[in-house]
Structure 1
Amino acid sequence: MKRNNTNILLAGGLILMAAAARIVNYELAIYNLAPVAALGLFSGAIVNNKKAAYMLPLLAMFISDAYIELFTPMKGFYDISQFFVYGAMAIITFMGTTMKNHKPVRIAGYSIAGSAVFFILSNFGTFLTGYWGLDFNGFVTTYLMALPFYTKEGSSFFFNTFVGDLVFSGLLFGGYAFLKNALESKAVKA
């Protein structure tokens, strides 16, 4: 029972941390520098209950989107493309379930692949809104317009996604490995 309560508290903490980081970055206009995709990759790789693994990043997204919808002038829930954003998070979580070992190079590779999945799927959702047309030219234009999509500070959406995913994946997997080793060494001494 105690372990179950600890797991629930850890899961809740991870969800709130990811949602809060996304909200803070939104409020500071530092878009896509958030730990949500890293949380998906991490939970897919580490959490034994796979339903719970998928819920961690999706709830973090939902909570932060609800905040944006309710407390800012922007829409947190906007159009069909949002389903592709959530779908990308689910696919990144699935990618985590396929990770056989948690070595830094593998984590970095999966993180980079997750960033690419997010870029491809989220922009495909944007294409489906028809903003630049629903033909081949609109498809190409959607992705071309996505490449230089910059924030006010001049850092790109994709760069923020890429760096955020790498850094937060490193922190989550590294923190987990550190705690696991510390607990195992404590158990050996006892």
Structure 2
Amino acid sequence: MNPSNNLQRFAIVLAMIGIAVASRLLPHPPNFTPLAAMCLFAGAMTVSPRIMAVSVIIAMLISDAVLGFHSLMPVVYGCLLANFVIGRKLVGANTSALTVFAGSLAGSVLFFLATNFAVWVAFYPSTWTGLTACFAAAAPFFQYTLAGDLVYSGLFFGVYALATSGVVSTHGNLQRATVPARAGE
């Protein structure tokens, strides 16, 4: 294996960790981060699941060290990592806007349901009223989770599509895409 490629991959992973940490520490709407989208993209594009899983966990641990550790971290981390499976199984390598949207939506809904169920179990009365109160209190945050997942997924998959379409050259210059002429023209 080429040492230059290993160094380049390491630099990319470090940059992704840095972006993920910054996205949690800089002012932003609640739950509007690229972490779920990073996992969805990695699962769909067959990026090494181990490297990406470790990257996400490191980014979460670093930022949680600043923001504060809590008892529900395993649920949050597990939901983020579930996006690898969603990316691999639902989005796949043959991505389309519809599969990326569906994968983002599935990840957002899973995160909302699982984390808020855990909050209910940990902090609310174990009653139907407690469950509805918990989810009612959490409902306003779902819009930010969904928006962040959709925006960052669109960004990651969109940039990748541009980079691999030939519109952007290897030197970063925009190229005019050529469309082959149809027969008879």
Smaller-chain TM-score bracket: 0.7 to 0.9
SS in structure 1 of the partner of residue 62 of structure 2? helix
Structure 2, unmatched stretches of 5+, are 172-185
Residue 78 of structure 2 is matched in structure 1 by 87
Matching of residue 20 in structure 1 with residue 22 in structure 2: yes
Q: Which residue of 2 aligns with 1:44?
A: 43
- List 4+ stretches of structure 1 deviating above 6 A: none
1:12-161 aligned within 5 A: 12-25=14-27, 30-68=29-67, 76-79=68-71, 81-98=72-89, 99-100=91-92, 101-129=94-122, 131-147=123-139, 156-161=140-145
**Residues 93/127 of structure 1: CA separation in 2 closer, same or farther (3 Å cut):** same
Structure 1 residues 44-102: Cα deviation after superposition (integer angstroms, max 9, x where no partner)? 2224322113223222222211122xxxxxxx2122x2221111111112211222222
For structure 1, which runs of at least 5 residues remain unmatched after alignment?
69-75, 148-155
Deviates more, 1:57-66 or 1:118-127: 57-66
Q: Separation in 2 of the partners of 1:106 and 1:33?
A: 21
Say if 1:186 and 1:21 are closer, same or farther in 2 by CA, change over 3 A: closer
Matched to 1:86, the amino acid is Y
Aligned match of 2:158:
174
**Cα distance in 2 for residues equivalent to 1:165 and 1:11:** 20
Larger radius of gyration: 2
Q: Distance in 2 between matches of 1:82 and 1:48?
A: 24
**2:44 partner SS:** helix
Kindly indicate whether the alpha-carbon contact (under 8 Å) linking 1:111 and 1:166 is maintained by their aligned counterparts in 2.
yes
Q: TM-score, normalised by structure 2?
A: 0.81
Task: Report how many aligned residue pairs link the two structures.
Answer: 167
> Over aligned residue pairs, what C-alpha RMSD do you find?
2.2
Instruction: State the alpha-carbon separation in 2 of the partners of residues 24 and 52 from structure 1.
Output: 24
Contact 1:58 1:89 in 2 (8 A): no
Q: Identity over aligned residues, as a percent?
A: 31
Report Cα offsets for 1:22-46 as digits up to 9, x if no partner: 1113xx5x21111111111112222
Task: Provide the rounded CA distance (Å) in 1 between the counterparts of 2:120 and 2:54.
Answer: 27
